[in-house]
Amino acid sequence: MIKNILSLLLLFIVLPEIHAQQKDKPNILWIVSEDNSPFLGCYGDTFATTPHLDKFAKQGILYKNAFATAPVCAPSRFTLVTGMYPPSMGTEHMRSTYPVPDYVKFFPRYLREAGYYTTNNAKKDYNTTDQPEAWDESSAKATYKNRKPGQPFFAVFNLNVSHESSIHTSIPTNKLKHDPEKVNLPPYHPATPEMKHDWAQYYDKIEEMDRQVGVLLKELEAEGQAENTIIFYYSDNGGILGRSKRFLYESGLRVPLLIRFPEKYARLAPNTPGTETDRIVTFNDFAPTVLSLAGLDVPSHMQGKAFLGAREVKERAYAYGFRGRMDERTDLSRSVRDKKFRYIRNYLPHIIYGQYLEYLWKAPSIASWEAQFKAGRLNEDQKKFWQEKPAEELFDIENDPHNIHNLAGDPRHKEVLLKLRKANHDWLIETQDVGFIPEPLLGKIAETTPLRDYAKSGKYELNKIIETAEIASSRDKSHLKELVKRLGDKDAVVRYWAVIGTIILKNDAMPAKAKLQPLLNDPEVVVRIAAAEALLALGDTDAPVQTLNEALKSESRMARVQALNVLENIGAKAQPAFENVKALLKGDPKDTDYDVRAAKKVLETE
C-alpha cells in the first residue's frame, strides 16, 4: 500500500517535469534523403515531381546555399554526427574507420543526456568507430513513438530510395514515369540512350522519395506532434549521375535544405514561412545548430557553428569541401565556396577525373559516356571528365551553374582566385588537415594515436607538408630543383609529396631520375610506391615493377591499393606482378575490399 502511494507521488512529480520539458524544448526531426542535389520543384526544377516537398517549402525556409562537406555519404555523415571536419580528424577517406579522440562524441548523446529520446532509422555509416550510446534506438524500426509521454525527441529517418544503387538495374522505359527524351541533360553529359534513361529513372526515384517524405509528415501530424517539432529535410550529398556524387562541383556538394518551424517555435526561425535565405551553411554546422535549438551549449571542440537558436553565430563566409580516396581510387582535392564562386585545388592533378570505380560503373550511363569518349564522339566539355585535372579550378556559380568554364587562368578573375586560394590554404592550416598524409602511413599512425591528436602533437610538419604539396601539384617545372632537394627530407610525407611533384611534371622531371632511384628502398612503403610510379614514367621498368610487386604483400590494404592503382596504369608492363595480384583474389575475397576491386581491374589487362 505504502509502495503504491509512493509510486503515485513519484508519478505526480515526474510527469509535470516531463511536460514542462516538452514545453521548453522542441522536438527535432531530420528527414534525410540519399544522393540527391536540389532536384525539387521548389528549387526551380520543372522536370521534378515533388509535391510534398514543394508544399513543405512553402511552410518553411528554403536554404539556397547548403553544402555537404564531402560529395559522398560516409565522410559527410561523420561531419553531421560530430560537427567536425573530416580532414582534420583523419576520417576523410571513404569507408575508413580510423578512431577519433575520446572527447569527440556523436552529438545525439548530448541531447540524450539532456532528456531527449534519440532515434535513428536506420543508416549510420559514420566513417569511424561507432558510438551506439548516442541513440535510444538505432534500427530499421527505430521511432520517436517509443519515448515516454511528453518526452522531447530527436529523430532521424534516412530515405535510401534515391541512392546511387537505384539506377544500377534499369527499369523498362515503358514503365518510367519521367520521359527520357524530355530530360534536360547537363552540358557535360552526352545524350546517349543510357544516359537519358538513367536520368529519367533517377527522377522517378526522387518522386518516390518525395512520397515517402509525405508519409513521414502525415505520420507526425497523426501523432499530434507537428506543432511541437522543428523539421529538417536535406540530402546527405549531391548526386548521382557521373561527375556529381564524389566530385567537388555544385552537383556533388550542394544539397537541398528545407526547415519548417511550427508556430510555437517561430521565434527560432530566421524568417517567415515560405521564404528563402542565401546564408551559407554546411554539414559542419548541423550538430551545433540542433544543440542550439534544444537550448544546449555547443562543445568547444566542434568546428561547426550554429546557424539557428540561442547559440547562433555570424554567418560564415565560406563553405569548405574535400575529396579523398573514393573506394579503391586515391585522390586528394579541396574546395572553397562563397556565394558567387567555387574554387577547387587538385593536389593530384595527374589523376583523371573519371577513374574507374567498380561501384560507379554499375550505372549504365557511365559506361556509355566512357564508350563515347573512346570513340571520339564527345565535345570539349564532355571530354574533360576523361582527362587530367588542372591544378586549380574556379567557377562563377551564377553564370556557370554546371561548373564547366574554368576561370582560374583568366586575368579578369585573378583577384578572386588569389582570395579563395588563400582561404583554402588558411583553412588547411587552421584545421590541421591530416589528409595530406598518404593513407598507408595514416593508417599506421592511427593504430596507436587518433589522428587529431597526432596533428596536435608537434610531430606533424603541416606547414612544410602543405607547401610541398602546393608546389608539387602546381605543374611548374621551375620548382623541380626544390622538389629534388625535398626528396631527401627526413619527413616521409615531405618525401612522398616531392616524388608526386616529379610524377606530375612527367618528362620535365628527368633530371630527378638519379635521386628517385634510391627511394625504391625508402623505409616507408608509400614513398617506395610513389618512386616506382615516377621511375616508370621516366622509362625504367624492372626495378619499379618489382617494388610494386613487393608492395602487394604489404600488411596495409591501402598500400596494396596504391600499388594496384599504379600497376593498372602501366598495362602489360605489370605482368611480373600478376601472380601477387591474383593472390589477392584467392581464399574468400569480398568485393567490398578495395584491394580486391582494384586487383580485378588490373587483371583485365592480362
Q: Which long-range contacts (CB under 8 A, 24 or more apart) does 270-274 make?
A: 270/61, 270/307, 270/308, 271/61, 273/58, 273/59, 273/60, 273/61, 274/57, 274/58, 274/59, 274/60
Cα distances (Å, whole numbers) of residue 122 to 119, 157, 240: 9, 7, 21
Instruction: Give 4's DSSP letter.
Output: H
Among residues 179, 170, 175, 162, the alpha carbon closest in space to that of 36 is found at 162
Cell match 536540389: residue?
38
- Return all residues near 334 (Cβ < 8 A) that are at least 6 apart: 87, 248, 320, 321, 322, 323, 344, 345, 347, 424, 427, 428, 433
Q: Which of 28, 42, 70, 73 is catalytic?
A: 73
Read out DSSP for 271-329?
A: S-TTEEEEEEEEGGGHHHHHHHHTTPPPPTT--S--SSSTT--PPPS-EEEEE--BTTB
Q: In sequence order, what E strands does 122-159 have?
A: 137-138, 153-159
Cα distances (Å, whole numbers) of residue 285 to 192, 219, 320, 342, 495: 39, 28, 12, 19, 36
Do 519 and 531 meet the contact criterion of CB atoms below 8 Å apart? Answer: yes
Do 108 and 135 meet the contact criterion of CB atoms below 8 Å apart? Answer: yes
Taken in order 442, 446, 448, 452, the sign of the CA dihedral is: positive
Backbone angles phi, psi at 302, to 5 degrees: -65, 135
* Burial degree of 421 (CB within 10 A; 0-12, 13-18, 19+): middle
Active site (annotated) includes residue 42: no
Give the span between the Cα atoms of 342 and 239, in whole angstroms: 18
- Torsion-angle region of residue 141: left (phi > 0), alpha (psi -120 to 50) or beta? alpha
Instruction: List, by residue number, the catalytic residues.
Output: 73
